[in-house]
Amino acid sequence: MIHVSFKKLFKKKEFISVVRTLVEALDVAIAICDADGGKIWSNGPETPGHQYTIATDNRIVGYLTGPAAAESIAQTLSYLVQSELEKKSLALDTLDKYEEINFLYDISTKLASCVSVDAVAQATIEEARKPIATTCMSVILRDRDCDQLQTIAFWSIDACDRDRSCHACDRIIQKVLASGQAEIINNIDVIEADSPIVYATICAPLKIQEQTIGVVNICNSQPVPYTAQDLKLFTALTSQAAAAIDNALLYDRLKDYAQTLEMRVAQRTADLEKANFELHRLATLDGLTQVANRRQFDSYLDKEWRRLSREKQVISLVFCDIDYFKPYNDTYGHLAGDRCLRLIAQTLQKAVNRPADLVARYGGEEFAVILPNTNSQGAWQVAKTIHTQVEGLNIAHAASKVSDRVTASLGVASMIPHLRLAPNVLINAADRAVYEAKRRGRNCVYREVL
């Protein structure tokens, strides 16, 4: 049974990096233990929470303790452990196959060069005829599908009919197939009338892993007895022939295996790409609202800031703060608050039309919209659309001091970036604009002029 040490996985930098990325993305405190309860990793003081199993192939390898949001981390860890197990199993399986191939190719130079059973059989006859006197020889295999005997190679010195040749040896062949032991018989005294004269015979089994798959039969019509040395040499030749036949059969199976392996590798690659995509999504999206998180906001703003500074093009930023959101949570509960945040995030997402625009949850009840190549007037229109559509959601808010519905205060700032300035200049300007919108009574849009 192949196992993966869950504890050892945490010694891999890339594995622990994934865990930290997930924890930071979800902003949760978790503790991870092995199957025996020994702590492996945590990112803070232990707090009560749910316990989730980390398992692979119906075997628990560890536990994760944390809030409900951490369940996706446990699922991802289970997937990663399963991937490690499958990669290890696949590697061992492939290694076993190639070791078996290498072993088979060491048997005999000539026989090992044969990649078909027919070629092995013909080479066996050619090699056996050199040191051992014979007038008739055949290589016979069992047909696995119908359990019938099939002569796959035959040679006779007098070119007699193939079906009649060695007919006198049929009972010996059946005995060797049944016992798996070689037989040598001299002075055969029972000769059927329609069979060629046979004076002596050696029949040796073709065995693969103790299974007799056929025989090699050699006959002599001359009154010259076979010796123990002949038997020893012939048995060694048939042993090599059996290994070469096994090699040829394995070659056919490996062609099928190679195709299957290629498909499996392609599937593993696709699964890995899917996992990487999911990890990227978890690392860049806010778990609650499914818009970009703060990390993605900072990264994208920095990238666009540098690009637009080179192009000397304008960039705008809109901050959206939900009015009196804490009283809303206190009045309607956190579940309602979460639903409200999700609805507003969707509203912001619909309000931007270009692929380059980015909606992000900036923190708490505050959202941000990055608008590359958008001037102040364009950003103002986007902010007004957001303001109207948030109010149009008609989400009741009895605790608001400005309306009986959920409203938002928005701040807009625009400028042409410069590499000597940091993006914080734009962030601070948009933040001041939001503050001014609140100072003016909330539920409005204010534009900071730079």
| Phi-psi domain of 138 (left: phi exceeds 0; alpha: psi -120 through 50; beta: other) | beta
Non-local (6+) Cβ contacts of 385 within 8 A are: 351
CATH code: domain of residue 130: 3.30.450.40
pTM for this model (two decimals)? 0.45
The DSSP symbol for 443 reads S
Q: Which of 353, 328, 330, 357 is nearest to 341 (CA)?
A: 328
- DSSP H stretches of helix in 69-166: 71-105, 109-112, 117-129
Check the CA dihedral 419-423-424-425 and report its sign. Answer: positive
Q: How far is residue 96 from each of residues 21, 93, 185, 249, 280, measured CA to CA in Å?
A: 37, 5, 41, 16, 36
DSSP track, 212-276? EEEEEEEEE-SS----HHHHHHHHHHHHHHHHHHHHHHHHHHHHHHHHHHHHHHHHHHHHHHHHH
One domain for residues 140 and 218: yes
One domain for residues 134 and 60: no
One domain for residues 49 and 114: no
One domain for residues 54 and 130: no
- Would you call 365 a catalytic residue per the annotation? yes
Residue 115 domain flag: yes
Q: Give residue 177's Cα distance to chain centre.
A: 46
| Domain containing residue 396 | 294-448
Residue 27 CA to residue 273 CA, distance in Å, equals 24
| Structural domain count of the chain | 3
Residue 414 CA to residue 298 CA, distance in Å, equals 17
Residue 197 domain flag: yes
Q: Which of 382, 364, 384, 386 is nearest to 372 (CA)?
A: 382
The burial of 373, by beta-carbon neighbours within 10 Å (0-12 exposed, 13-18 middle, 19 or more buried), is given as middle
Residue 264 domain flag: no
One domain for residues 388 and 349: yes
Q: How many CB atoms lie within 10 A of CB 326?
A: 12
Q: Give residue 73's Cα distance to chain centre.
A: 18
Residue 276 domain flag: no
One domain for residues 195 and 304: no
Non-local (6+) Cβ contacts of 370 within 8 A are: 297, 300, 301, 304, 315, 316, 317, 357, 358, 360
One domain for residues 222 and 321: no
Residue 256 domain flag: no
One domain for residues 203 and 327: no
One domain for residues 335 and 226: no
Pairing of strands 136-142, 149-156: antiparallel
Last residue of a domain, one of 26, 50, 84: 84
Residue 89 domain flag: no
Q: What is the predicted pLDDT for the residue at 104?
A: 38
Each of the 450 residues of the chain gets a pLDDT tens digit; together they read 567 788 888 888 888 888 888 888 888 888 889 888 888 888 877 667 888 988 887 788 889 898 988 888 889 888 888 888 888 888 777 765 554 444 334 446 777 777 788 888 888 888 888 888 888 888 998 876 667 888 888 988 765 545 454 566 788 888 898 898 998 888 765 444 455 567 888 999 998 888 888 999 988 888 788 988 888 888 888 888 888 888 887 777 777 777 777 788 788 877 777 777 667 656 789 989 999 999 999 999 999 999 999 999 999 999 999 999 999 999 999 999 999 999 999 999 999 978 899 999 999 999 999 999 999 999 999 999 999 999 999 999 999 999 999 999 999 999 999 989 999 999 999 999 999 999 999 999 999 877
Q: Which of 5, 23, 16, 11 is nearest to 84 (CA)?
A: 5
One domain for residues 338 and 419: yes
One domain for residues 304 and 414: yes
One domain for residues 30 and 132: no
Residue 180 CA to residue 89 CA, distance in Å, equals 35
Q: Please, are residues 187 and 199 in contact by the beta-carbon 8 Å criterion? A: yes
Tokens 């639903």 sit on residue? 339
Structure tokens at 285: 């999206």
Check the CA dihedral 127-170-242-117 and report its sign. Answer: positive
Q: Please, are residues 184 and 233 in contact by the beta-carbon 8 Å criterion? A: no
Pairing of strands 59-66, 183-186: unpaired
Q: Indicate which residue of 84, 304, 365, 448 is catalytic.
A: 365
Q: How many CB atoms lie within 10 A of CB 391?
A: 16
Q: Please, are residues 63 and 30 in contact by the beta-carbon 8 Å criterion? A: no
Q: Give residue 415's Cα distance to chain centre.
A: 46
CATH code: domain of residue 431: 3.30.70.270
Residue 279 domain flag: no
Structure tokens at 220: 């002599």
Residue 232 CA to residue 249 CA, distance in Å, equals 26
Q: Please, are residues 196 and 221 in contact by the beta-carbon 8 Å criterion? A: yes
Indicate the helix (H) or strand (E) that contains 59. strand 59-66
Residue 344 CA to residue 389 CA, distance in Å, equals 9
Residue 213 domain flag: yes
